[in-house]
Amino acid sequence: MNDRKRYKYKIEGIVQGVGFRPFIYKIAHTYSIKGYVLNNSLGVEIEAEGSSEDLLKFDNSLHVELPPLSRVDTISKKELNFFGYIDFKIKESDTRKSKHTLISPDMSICDDCLKELNDNSNFRHNYFFINCTNCGPRYSIIKTVPYDRINTSMCNFLMCKKCEEEYKNPMDRRYHAQPISCADCGPELFLRSIDGVLLAKNSEAIKNLACLIQEGNIVAMKGMGGFHLICDASNDKTVKLLRSRKKRQTKPFAVMFKSIEEIKKSCKITKEEGEAIISQQRAIVLVKKNKKSFLLSDLVAPHIDRLRVFLPYTPLHVLLLKRLEKPIIATSANKSGEPIITDGQELKKSLGDVIDFYLDYNREIINASDDSVLQMIGDKSIMMRASRGFTPMSFRYKSDEKRHILAVGAHQKNTISLYIDNQIILSPYIGDLDSVKSCDFFTRTLETFKRLYDFNPEVIICDLHPSYFTTRWAKKQECELRQVQHHYAHILSCMFEHKIEKKILGVAWDGTGYGDDGTIWGGEFFICDKTSYKRVAYFEPFSLLGGDKSIKDIKRVAVSMIFDIQKDNKAGDFTSFLKLFGKSELSLLRQMYNKNINAIKCSSVGRIFDAVAVFSGVCESVTYDGESGLIIESLYDKTINESYEFYLDGEVIKYKHIFTQMLEDKNPNLIATKFINALVDIFFKIANRYGLEIVLAGGVFQNRTILEKIIKEAKERNIYFPQKIPINDGGVSIGQLYRYM
Ligand code: ZN
Ligand code: FE
């Protein structure tokens, strides 16, 4: 008996709403441990009494067995005087102190629930909201912490006897699973026509929806963090109709397949891509189309060789896909440039002219989130949009900083990040802040985070760009204000992820961002550390004629390059390109150029891609961000080793002469390949000037061909790129934050 000891554990991390207490309860019983476990505002507290031997086993399980959705950041353990507990209890939540508990992201259906969903002897057979402590909604249904049913959008649903028994049984997988429900007591489904007529409910609704999709209708369905627009992905006529109704010309749609085997019929996927696709985050993964057996409509992702694919992630998706032969387009339901729609009434108002029918349910989505998007480079991921399944993304960060700090991110692909009490938290994807509704979504997301974490910013960090919504917003707040240059923030986001503080070479190739000199940057080489940076090389600037107008109308970038070449009296007959413009438009552009009016200087690699796309003759205008890059990438030919020659004039990378060479090369594949090869050459030409480790970030590196070539050629040299944090502007907020941590 005198061998018995008592320990107190304090555990922080994602430990609430993920089945942590029942897990502790179970291992306590397994090893005859007495005491208690409870949730408090910091995480989980345990007292454990038992023999030294049993306590050792308990401690070991606590470290290695952990429930799948949990993440332990710290465990502290202290020995106390023996008390003499007679049993092991789960005690009531203790929520007096401030709220710093981390909130789990929404998770896809787990294998146990999937089994029950398909088991016709189970009382939740075919139940469209089946979930447990290891899966299902979290962030999307939570209003405030602690994460108890009363604080979620399940608060209006009274548990039936059967559900309540499971909810209260610590040995059950659904012990304290807040969204627990069944067909008798849970939310219901409603299939409606767009004019509001109720057509069917529950299982009938799913069945009818499947028929409507098969018949070629465009429908909407409420998913986890918002509605999807859905239609048959193999039906040319329907996809064409969706494109014309949505006024979305070429931007690729994501496709949901019923199984990984189905994906393999239309796409070539690597082992690692397969693992990413089936992982519990269920992100959309960007993979290569199989040109020989592509079974979907070409209009799903025209002109490019990649497809965005994913698998069903809620039981509702599983049940729908089971009834369908063909894969479906499942794209966030929103008006172009606005956030994802979460409410049936809003759907009718905004997309009444796009959809014919919609499937709604009466569990409110409190916090919206989009599907996450990533691609794989070997076994490493590149995050293109971090949202459902990944966010709120939290990192433990030890610091003496006592203040609450908010970083408001960039203007495109906006996210916010916050620092509070040794945690850095990245919000879900908010979007491009060009519409009133998106800006509202920005403030709503901030309000959510203030509520969930008792967060009250004392310092705000924003971009340098004077006309970003976030900059203007930040300047209006009565807080200490800090600003960080856009591309430096990109590099810092990667330094944060890889815990780098020392001096490195930072390479930020990007769309656009405001530079220190008031011009637009985006092809930058920095020597930098965590607190300072120096621009050591950049692409020779050109004029953005008409400013933002030239971002969509990319032939303006090309013509600006032509004017530069002609000014230097370089040879080349560009008549055919100049013919892309009407006479008056061309003379207007020439005036802008000559008089330097509305012709801001720019050094962005993203925009140089635009010019190359025009010179290769494959496109004259783009309809979505990154389109020219994807098209150039799809033209890349591995068998061509030639490269355009860039050269260095001090800090300036000279490249404009390549456009004259392109006149002779003509062949789009040759042009695209020589250009990409040249970018990689110049990368190393500059990198070789410095013996430093290399950190890279920025939207251009979403181009897998470039990144793969760089990694391959780097050989022994250390190259870091962001993997969890978005590599594009979605990562800027966390970089801004890291600067002042
Ligand atoms: Zn489950
Ligand atoms: Fe950027």
pLDDT tens digits for 177-200?
999 999 999 999 999 999 989 999
Q: Which ligand is nearest the CA of 523, by number?
A: 2
- Span from the CA of 513 to the centroid of ligand 2 (angstroms): 6
d(CA 385, CA 375): 10
Active site residue 403: no
Kind of pairing between the strands at 189-193 and 198-201: antiparallel
The neighbour count for residue 595, using CB atoms within 10 Å, is 9
Q: Omega into 146 within 30° of 0, i.e. cis?
A: yes
**Which contiguous run of DSSP H or E holds residue 221?**
strand 219-222
- pLDDT (0 to 100) of residue 486: 98
d(CA 10, CA 643): 59
Residues 6+ apart with CB under 8 A from 700: 509, 510, 511, 522, 605, 606, 609, 629, 706
The neighbour count for residue 477, using CB atoms within 10 Å, is 13
Catalytic, out of 6, 21, 138, 739: 21
Q: Decide if 739 contacts 489 (C-beta within 8 A).
A: yes
pTM listed for this prediction: 0.94
- pLDDT (0 to 100) of residue 95: 61
Catalytic, out of 6, 39, 363, 677: 39
Q: Which positions of the chain have pLDDT values less than 70?
A: 1-2, 94-100
d(CA 282, CA 286): 12
Give all domains of the chain, ordered by start, each with its CATH number: 4-90 (3.30.70.100), 189-361 (3.90.870.10), 392-484 (3.30.420.360), 537-720 (3.30.420.40)
Task: Return the amino acid letter for 592.
Answer: M
Where do we find the tokens 């006024």? 247
Q: Decide if 70 contacts 19 (C-beta within 8 A).
A: yes
Kind of pairing between the strands at 694-697 and 504-514: parallel
- pLDDT (0 to 100) of residue 39: 84
Active site residue 21: yes
Distances, alpha carbon 339 to alpha carbons 333, 334, 407, 439, in Å: 8, 6, 20, 9
Residues in the chain: 741
- pLDDT (0 to 100) of residue 97: 55
- pLDDT (0 to 100) of residue 311: 98
Residue 135 DSSP symbol: B
d(CA 648, CA 682): 9
Q: Which residues are found with C-beta within 5 Å of the ion, ligand 1?
A: 110, 113, 132, 134-135
Distances, alpha carbon 677 to alpha carbons 136, 405, 538, 619, 698, in Å: 45, 42, 18, 20, 19
d(CA 68, CA 19): 9
**Which contiguous run of DSSP H or E holds residue 678?**
helix 668-687
- pLDDT (0 to 100) of residue 14: 86
Q: Which residues are found with C-beta within 5 Å of the ion, ligand 2?
A: 510, 513, 729
- Span from the CA of 411 to the centroid of ligand 2 (angstroms): 9
Q: Which long-range contacts (CB under 8 A, 24 or more apart) does 498-503 make?
A: 498/695, 498/720, 500/530, 500/693, 500/695, 500/720, 501/529, 501/530, 502/529, 503/527, 503/528, 503/529, 503/692
Residues 6+ apart with CB under 8 A from 436: none
- pLDDT (0 to 100) of residue 96: 55
